[in-house]
Amino acid sequence: MAQLPAQAQGLGNSPYSALGIGEIYGNNNITNMGMGGLGTAYANGFFLNSVNPALLVRNRYTIFEVGLLGQTKRLSDSRGQSQRDFGANISYLTLTFPVTRYWSAGIGLRPYSYVDYQTTQYQKVPGTIYESEYVYHGKGGLNKAVFTNGFSITRNFFVGVEAAFLFGNITNDSDSRLLIGGDDITVKRSTLTSYSDVVWRFGAAWRPKIAKDWFLNVGATVDPMTRLGGKSVDTYQQIDASGTQISTPDTVSSRTNGSITLPAQFKGGIVLEKSQKLAFGVEFGYQPWSKYKGLGGTPGNLKDSYSFGAGLEFTPKTRSLRYLELIPYRVGFNYSKLPYSVSGKQPTDMSASLGFSLPVGQFVNSMTISLTGGQRGTVIDNQIKERYVKIGLGLSLNQQWFHRSKVD
């Protein structure tokens, strides 16, 4: 029998985060979330695009953005057990500015992955009347500090590069004890793993004009396969029933010069756009997580994953005296095959989203709200089903810096 206790940190308890380096946040800003994650091929010049670095050059203002992300979900399994929990976190802090007419640069800080899980299992001890209890839990995650550059090669062709420094640590614990009553002793084994290294992303985008006010947007990104440096310390200790340490932590093993292998990632998309009015398109992503290797080259037992997204953005009027006509409205859909393997099968993630941006001040600044609802996994094949609702709140501040004054 397994229990799924509630958690309230990060984005909440997720049993799937026990695998690999945890749940990957992705690179979407709150704006992209409302369009089903669409961002590889399309960028609105008034909002930052953190998916494709090539599209950064379409931002001609200095823009500061902050995003907050909250999630509420209900977990359930085939045994009929369920729980509800909630978690929230800062999604990103980013700043971008035009350097020249053909070059824009940006810096930012955002979470990369998170680990937050706890599972309890009970097993009968053969030949006795006693049970043993096993508790598995983990915390932590990776963050990334990014430096992005986008360049305009021609009027309609852009390229970009993002360098990101990943850093953080993950703790995975396993506690075991024999339930004999009164004097139960817990043996705790804890593994602390720290990671730090530089990863890259390259992007390209093409935006030819196909009719009056109509553009075709084509974009692609690639994250090359990377070896991420890491070190780990594995310890164990004994704890009595009152929680008092019987023994100090004893180091079982340590690794100081290890690395993990992060697989390459590929994304491509196509969007049809009517300037400052309408944009709709599709996007596809693929990542061979089967090539993931843990510290020391151990296999991660992951599967190749892919995703498909579709989205639409519509602004009734860009110049109007009616406030509601100035609001960009968004809707989207996303389907993903997750990299995890449960009983030989891969869980899926299917979601729908909507969003809008409320102009503030001089109608250049805005507050964006996105809402995503979906389901991951099922209650069959020993999977965990997660029904979730994500709420994103973003604030975008636009200013014209480095403007050279002209004297008449």
Q: What is the pLDDT of residues 150-177, one digit of tens each?
A: 999 999 999 999 999 999 999 999 888 8
The half-sphere exposure of 75 on its side-chain side, counting CA atoms within 13 A, is 22
Using the predicted structure, report yes or no on whether residue 343 has a pLDDT greater than 50.
Answer: yes
pLDDT of residue 354: 97
- Which residues is 191 bridged to in the sheet? 172, 234
The amino acid that residue 155 corresponds to is: R
The pLDDT confidence band at residue 6, using thresholds 50, 70 and 90, is very low
Q: Which residues contact 163 (CB under 8 A, 6 or more apart)?
A: 146, 147, 148, 198, 199, 200
Residue 3: per-residue pLDDT: 39
Angle ∠(27,30,33) on CA atoms, nearest 5: 75
Instruction: Indicate whether 69 pLDDT > 80.
Output: yes
Kindly provide the residue ranges of all beta strands, DSSP E only, lying in 20-102, ordered along the sequence: 23-24, 62-76, 82-100
**331: its two tokens:** 């809707």
Residue 125's pLDDT band (boundaries 50, 70, 90)?
confident
Q: Is 216 exposed, middle or buried (0-12, 13-18, 19+ CB in 10 A)?
A: middle
Q: What is the pTM of this model?
A: 0.88
What's the average model confidence in pLDDT over 271-293?
Answer: 95
**Where does the pLDDT of residue 8 fall: very low under 50, low under 70, confident under 90, or very high at 90 and above?**
very low
Check whether 5 has a pLDDT greater than 70. Answer: no
Q: How far does Cα 400 stand from its chain's mean position? A: 30
Among the listed residues 119, 229, 225, the one whose alpha carbon sits nearest the alpha carbon of residue 168: 229
Residue 10 pLDDT more than 70? no
The pLDDT-based confidence of 107 (bands split at 50, 70, 90) is very high
Average pLDDT of span 337-361: 90
Q: Inform me whether the pLDDT recorded for 12 exceeds 80.
A: no
**Mean pLDDT of the region 196-200:** 95
**What pLDDT does 2 receive?**
41
Instruction: Calculate mean pLDDT across residues 259-268.
Output: 95
DSSP code of 30? Answer: H
Q: Please say if the pLDDT value at position 362 is more than 80.
A: no
Percent of the chain, pLDDT > 70? 94
- Better pLDDT: 368 or 319: 368
Token pair 């509800």 in the structure block, residue: 84
* Residues 6+ away with beta carbon under 8 Å from 67: 29, 30, 90, 91, 92, 392, 393, 394, 395
pLDDT(9) > 60: no
Average pLDDT of the chain is 88
- What mean pLDDT comes out for the span 289-308? 90
Q: Which of 19-28, 182-191, 309-318, 322-331 has the lowest mean pLDDT?
A: 182-191
- Percentage of residues in the chain with pLDDT exceeding 90? 56
Question: The dihedral of CA 338, 342, 344, 347: what is its sign?
Answer: negative
Rounded to whole angstroms, the Cα distance separating 176 from 248 reads 17
Residue 58 confidence (pLDDT) above 80? yes
Q: Is the pLDDT of residue 7 over 70?
A: no
* Whole-number pLDDT of residue 402: 56
Mean pLDDT of all residues in 313-327: 89
Instruction: Average the pLDDT over 77-93 and give the result.
Output: 84
Domains of the chain: which residue ranges? 2-399
Mean pLDDT of 382-403: 85
Of 262, 277, 267, 203, the residue nearest 230 (C-alpha): 262
pLDDT at position 223? 97
**CATH code for the domain defined by 2-399:** 2.40.160.60
